[in-house]
């Protein structure tokens, strides 16, 4: 696989979704969770999506329960939470793993293409997460709300670690829209 567009993912209703359908769009791929201290980032993600979808932005949410069990619900419960709590209109897919042997192939690719820069420069976030997160492999997603920016051609442009808010990446997005 050489592009995000080469992958298929599963919608919350179980349907297969080829990411080739997003060719020509700028993607922000995010692993999400409904019971995390960072869950309010849904609001910022939705605001970005509403402000830029007409210019070609798609936000793709992938629920993940690998970080302290912060996404325990079923796919239907997650959909309901997203709609009623944050009025999410961007696609939130079926729950997946983002690390380990059972990681979704899309996330294996994203992690390989953009291994990230997680480290002490993230200050208190790094200290807190290092204390509660098991040892991670280089490039692993370290927590909920890690974001991957993907160009219109399906190439991974950049990775943003969890504490980077949607508002903080607006300038980067604008450069690609």
DSSP string, the chain: --SGGG-EEE-TTS-EEEGGGGTTSEEEEEEE-SSSTTTTHHHHHHHHHHHHGGGTEEEEEEEB-TTTT---S-HHHHHHHHHHHH---S-B---BB-SSTTB-HHHHHHHHH-----SGGGTHHHHHHHHHSPP--TT---STT-EEEE-TTS-EEEEE-TTS-GGGGHHHHHHH-
Within 8 A by CB and 6+ apart from 30, the residues are 41, 45, 59, 60, 61, 62, 145, 146, 147, 148
64 is catalytic: no
Catalytic-labelled residue, pool 29, 32, 36, 129: 36
Q: Which residues are catalytic?
A: 36
């Amino acid at each position: 696989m050489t592009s995000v567009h080469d992958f298929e993912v599963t919608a919350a209703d179980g349907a297969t979704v080829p990411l080739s359908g997003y060719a020509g769009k700028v993607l922000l791929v995010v692993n999400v969770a409904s019971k995390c201290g960072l869950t309010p980032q849904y609001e910022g993600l939705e605001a970005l999506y509403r402000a830029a979808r007409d210019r070609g932005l798609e936000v793709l949410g992938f629920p993940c329960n690998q970080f302290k069990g912060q996404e325990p619900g079923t796919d239907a419960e997650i959909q309901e939470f997203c709609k009623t709590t944050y009025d999410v209109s961007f696609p939130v897919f079926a729950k997946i793993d983002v690390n380990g042997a059972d990681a979704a192939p899309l996330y294996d690719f994203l992690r390989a293409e953009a291994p990230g820069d997680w480290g002490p420069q993230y200050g208190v976030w790094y200290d807190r997460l290092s204390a509660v997160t098991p040892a991670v492999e280089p490039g692993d997603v370290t927590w909920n709300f890690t974001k991957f920016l993907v160009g219109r051609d399906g190439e991974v442009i950049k990775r943003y670690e969890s504490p980077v808010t949607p508002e903080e990446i607006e300038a980067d997005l604008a450069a690609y829209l």
